[in-house]
Amino acid sequence: MAKLISKTYGEALFELAVEEEKTDVMLEEIDGVKNVFLENPEYLKFLNHPRIPVEEKIKTTENIFAGRIDKQLVGFLSIIITKGRCENLMEILEYFLDRVKEFKGIGVAYVTTPFELKKEKKEAICKKLLATTSYKEMEMHYAVKPELLGGMQIRIGDRVVDSSIQTKLNQLQRDLLKVQI
């Protein structure tokens, strides 16, 4: 149900941004709004509190965001509050961000290695991903996981390429357990 809600509202916001030709502006502003909620979890609790009147939640939101972000985005947040969808707000914002990145041809890659990569290696991975995918640009996220032992794991959306030594050892172990003597 939460996925349906985030898709419905996120898609409506995306269509508005495309129609108004404000995808770049909205991408930046929504990222900022999302960060406000991440940095102030008590504000999200305030919006989700059942005993606080909707009017007070809307007034507070307008006071915080009016003049800082597009009026349509403030209005969108007011609709979310009025409809009682604040518990889905972060998913809605995340859906919108993903949708705009997809629209603009920006891929999001998560690369996990057993040690920190040098800048040159990171650039090489990014270039290789751009060459082997249909994306125009890549947003790269790197993580270190020493238990991989060697190799790397790359995740783009729901696709995963796992060339880690840990995975290869696990596969070898499964294959050996299948062998019957």
> What does the pLDDT read at residue 47?
93
> What does the pLDDT read at residue 176?
87
> What does the pLDDT read at residue 1?
67
- What is d(CA 66, CA 70) in angstroms, rounded to the nearest whole number? 8
Helix, coil or strand: residue 83:
coil
**Rounded to 5 degrees, what angle do the CA atoms 110, 24, 74 make?**
105
**Rounded to 5 degrees, what angle do the CA atoms 76, 82, 103 make?**
25
- What is d(CA 100, CA 89) in angstroms, rounded to the nearest whole number? 17
Q: Which of 89, 142, 73 is nearest to 113 (CA)?
A: 142
> What does the pLDDT read at residue 75?
93
**pLDDT tens string for the chain (181 positions)?**
668 888 999 999 999 999 999 999 999 999 999 999 999 999 999 999 999 999 999 999 999 998 899 999 999 999 999 999 999 999 999 999 999 999 999 999 999 999 999 999 999 999 999 999 999 999 999 999 998 888 899 999 889 999 888 888 888 888 888 887 6
Q: Determine the residue type at 175.
A: D
Contact in structure between 65 and 33 (CB atoms under 8 Å)? yes
Contact in structure between 140 and 125 (CB atoms under 8 Å)? yes
Q: Determine the residue type at 42.
A: E
- Which alpha helices (H) appear in the chain, and where do they start and end? 2-19, 23-39, 41-48, 54-65, 71-82, 89-104, 119-132, 165-178
The secondary structure element, H or E, covering residue 112 is: strand 106-113
> What does the pLDDT read at residue 73?
93
| Cβ neighbours for 52, distance < 8 A, ≥ 6 positions apart | 46
